[in-house]
Amino acid sequence: MSSTPETLPLVRTIGIMQPLTWLALAWRDMARAGWISFAHGLAMTVFGGLIIAVAGNRFWLLAGALSGFLVVAPVLATSLYALSRALERGEPASMQVVFKTWFNWQHSHFNKWTSQYWCLVQFGLLLALAATTWVLTSAALITLLAPEPVRTPVDFLRVVVADSESGLFELWLALGGFLAAPIFASSVVSIPLLLDRRITLMQAVLTSWRTVLYNPIPMAFWAALIAGFTLLGVGSLLLGLIAVMPMLGHASWHAYRDLVDVSTLPARDAGLAPVLVQVRH
């Protein structure tokens, strides 16, 4: 088994419009993978619908569940990264790829109890903790500053969003952006990197931060695209997530391939064919 590297991989700089190329490549992958990609989006849409049905009018429970769902979504999209990787290698994007990703993603890793084997689970838990922190902080802010109690989504729209004089909604958005920025920086390439290469969780997170520091404007544009498409998907009664989630998942794989030079890193699973390392356009 290959050991993890001691140094971080090199990070490339990209043009500001490169995220649009990732979206175009994502649609190509979705067309080639067919129903398997859209099944991921449908599953996430159904799960989101169940959250809304269970949480109902309990606003903070609904906010917490949806926030956790959206923050952990990059981990849930791991098999979409694997599908894009298979297509990149010229392999079939089949359900076998999906099953192997979720149930036997490191079949050459005999020790199943090390932190390396569970790195994706660990990262998912960290993201869930971040989402919980946001909901608790948000609840405290609204509780302290709102002129009346906010208990339902309608209360939030009426008391916070529709009140243009208090500035509470603007403050709430600013706080959300402040807390979301480090989550984005930590996760933008971490998960596909952990899936693809033998690297520690800390190294993957540091590499992800470096991609943002080296490409601040393109990555800000990418973050805005992710937020915009996610809001579009949620705002369409979650139906838009059927296409949005697989699109963002496949695009995230291409973002990782463009931003990180993995030529010096060992493959995550020695039993897999080597990834073709090349300078991306």
Tell me if 273 is assigned to some domain. Answer: no
Q: What is the pTM of this model?
A: 0.85
Domain extent, residue 104, equals 10-261
Q: Which residue has the higher pLDDT, 156 or 117?
A: 156
* Rounded Cα gap, residues 263 and 277, in angstroms: 6
Q: What is the DSSP letter of 156?
A: I
* Rounded Cα gap, residues 182 and 63, in angstroms: 20
Cite the DSSP H helix spans in the chain.
18-33, 35-55, 59-76, 78-88, 95-103, 119-145, 153-155, 168-187, 190-196, 201-214, 216-235, 241-259
Tell me if 211 is assigned to some domain. Answer: yes
Tell me if 108 is assigned to some domain. Answer: yes
> What is the pLDDT, as a whole number, of residue 72?
76
Q: Token match 């995550």: residue?
A: 268
Tell me if 280 is assigned to some domain. Answer: no
Express each pLDDT in 230-253 by its tens digit.
989 988 988 999 999 999 999 999
How many structural domains comprise the chain?
A: 1
What is the rounded average pLDDT of the residues 83-87? 96
Express each pLDDT in 87-133 by its tens digit.
999 999 999 998 888 776 555 444 444 455 567 778 888 888 888 88
Tell me if 277 is assigned to some domain. Answer: no
Tell me if 268 is assigned to some domain. Answer: no
Tell me if 270 is assigned to some domain. Answer: no
* Rounded Cα gap, residues 24 and 86, in angstroms: 17
